[in-house]
Structures are given as C-alpha cells and as structure tokens.
Amino acid sequence: MFSHGRGSRIWDVDGNEFIDYTLSQGPLIHGHSHPEILAAVAEALGRGQIWNGVFPQEIELAEKLVEIIPCADLVRIGCTGTEAVQAAIRVARAATGRSKIIKFEGHYHGWLDNVAASINPTLEQAGPKESPNAVPWSGGMGPAALEDVIVLPWIDSGAILRALTKYKNKVAAIIAEPCMCNAGCIEPPPGFLNGLRRDCDVHGTVLIFDEVITGFRLSLGGAQQHYGVTPDLAVFGKAVAGGFPVSVLAGRTQFMQVLADGRAIHAGTLNAHVGGVAAGLASLRLLEADNGAAYRRLYELGGRLRDGIAAIAGELGLVLKVTGPGPVFHAGFLRPPALDPIRVTVQNYRKVVAVYDTEQYAAFVRGMATRGVRLIGRGIWYVSTAHTDADIQQTLDRVRETLEELKLTAGQR
C-alpha cells in the first residue's frame, strides 16, 4: 500500500522508499508528481472541470497531436486506452463495412470482451500455431464475444497473408502493438511492419497501431515515427498526459470522417476533461523542450540500465535475457537448457511462455523490493525523465546484490 510518490521514487504507508520502474504501468513518463504538470492542472481546474463543449486548450492539444503524430489528420480525445481501442475498431468497421478483426497472441488491447482474446493463454489453450484459438481472457465473457476475432502469431507474415486471403473482404482491421510490450517487449524485425502496411493496403484492411504503451515513449510521434511505418488509425494513452486519464484516437481523414459525419459515434461524458487536457499539454511541452532532450535522456538511461542488467547477469553466469528499445524493456530468466541469452531468439508470445522462468523472475522482483526497487512481476521496466544517473547506478548495484543472492540460493538447492 503506497502513500505518495515524487520524481523517480514512491513510498509505502510504512515509510519504505523505492526507486520506481513500474511508473503505474507506464503513464508516469515524467515520474511522480511533476511540478509543471500539477501546476498546469491546478490552474486549469480553477476555471472548471468539464463543460460538454469545446474549449481553447482542447483545440490546442488536438492541434499539437496532429502536428506530432504521423497518422493524425484528425483526433478524438477520450479517457482510457480501452475505450479508444473500441472507437478505433468501430471506425474501421464503419469505414469498410466489414466486421472481422485480426489481433495477435500476447497483444493487449484493453479489457472489454470483443478484444480480450489470447492475451496470456497457456500453450495448451492456445492451440496449433497455424490456426490459434481465440482464448477468452476472463470469466464472464459471452460465448459470442470473440466470434469476429481472428488470432494470429506475432511476426508471422505468412500467417497474416493466409488469413487475409481466407477471409477476403471480411477483415475490417488488423490491430497490433507495433512493439509487443505486454509480452517480452519484442521489437518488430526490419521490414515486418512495412509488410503489414502493404498487406493491409492490398486487401483494403485498416491498420491500427495500439500505441497505448509506445506512444510518446519511443518518440514524440510514437512507435510509428520510431519505426517509420504509418498506420491508418492509432490509439494512445498512458504517457500522453503524464499520469492523468487521457487517451487519443488519431487517424487519416478518410477513416476519421465516419466520426465527423456521424456514421459512427464516439461518446463519453468525461472526454477531453479540463484537467486531463492541461496535463497533456504540459507533458508534451516537457517532451518537446530543448529539441527533444527528454528522449535522448530516456534512451541513454534506459539503455544503460538495460545493458547493465544483462552484463551483470552474464558476469555471474546467470541466463537472463533483456530486450527492448530502452525507455521500456523486458527482463526475464531463461529456462534450462538455454545457455546463452544472446543466441535465444524470442519473436512471439509462444516463445515467451516457453523460454521464460516466471517463478525465478518473481523471486528477483521480491529481492529487489527488499532493496528498495519496485518492479512489475511480468518483466517490463519503464524509465522516466525523473530518473537520474544515481538512480541507475544504485539500481544496478541492487541488481548485482539480488542476482548474487539468487545464484547462491540456487546453488544450495
């Protein structure tokens, strides 16, 4: 149970202090309680909370998003990534007149029934790789919830092309995390996203990037700018407002027009609430400042931390693999008989399940917590602009201590 956070640190109710790499699952790209964000929100809330009407700062935020996001001709501002995904799917269906959606194993697009498929199934549940099952994520989902969902393995261009051919003129959209952050932080190999773009163009299918994690973290223009591939629609959340509940649906005019002319509806009483819009403007200003110095810092610190963890594990003879671009990355212990993390290739969810030892990583997380470092149990690390060189060095020292303890414990079994 936590009581407060400031900068890169968070404190629990017992007064214990932690360097925080969970960052509330990613939104706190500027750390906890950034004074400029809080001041902007306080000033805005002094004028009102929500007006059910357009206001100047909303237009300012929309114009800024259009300026910096490659696919953004038009934008809609909402509250959560989950609802923005639903809006994107509705737009794709309205624009194409089709109903089916392709998603990938291990990718997360919110908790609602129609996309909550094959997020973390067992390998037995997942079924054959050539034709994966659409495995419900939760109890309470209706039997028809996933009937329009086609689940495919990630980074398998052949499977994508076969599905588009099999369901010709029925697939409204392909939705994907451009970097699979939710399971293994797997970056796309060169050319994969370009191929996905081409396949969608050929088959008249809308390409949706779920940038709820990657947006404003990999670059100011998101993963689409970072990897140089522009989708038709994109969904943003988490880092857009530095910890306040704001999401964005951005897209090309030809698709977003279905919202503008009323063929599809995106509603929400709290959309573009005053505090969230102010937080978004403040957060983006911080990311743009000094010609993008924040990104240079995120990559520098994140890369040093990522590579340092891998180097320490290698020195100690532990088989720990660390992957990801830097501002967000994944760490995990490999199961035997793996001997060299560099030679083990992890390209999809099934490989994540097969090769990573979650129990050993859970022990690592517990050991780091006792040493004042807070981590997420599934292996993802987030770095913020509030982290310092001293934080990184202290964290690497704690990593060494924890890994030495784990190695000693394993040797005594």
Q: Would you name the residues annotated as active-site residues? A: 108, 210, 238
Distance CA 327, CA 343 (A): 23
Q: Of 336, 335, 316, nearest to 404 (Cα)?
A: 316
Q: Are strands 74-78 and 247-251 parallel, antiparallel or unpaired?
A: antiparallel
Q: Tokens 């969902």 sit at which residue?
A: 149
Q: Are 328 and 23 in contact (CB under 8 A)?
A: no
Q: Of 256, 381, 262, nearest to 326 (Cα)?
A: 381
Half-sphere exposure of residue 266, counting CA atoms within 13 Å on the CB side? 31
288 Cβ contact partners less than 8 Å away, ≥ 6 residues apart: 220
Q: What is the DSSP letter of 335?
A: P
Distances (CA, A) of 312 to 23, 203, 267: 24, 47, 50
251 Cβ contact partners less than 8 Å away, ≥ 6 residues apart: 71, 72, 73, 74, 75, 88, 91, 231, 232, 233, 234
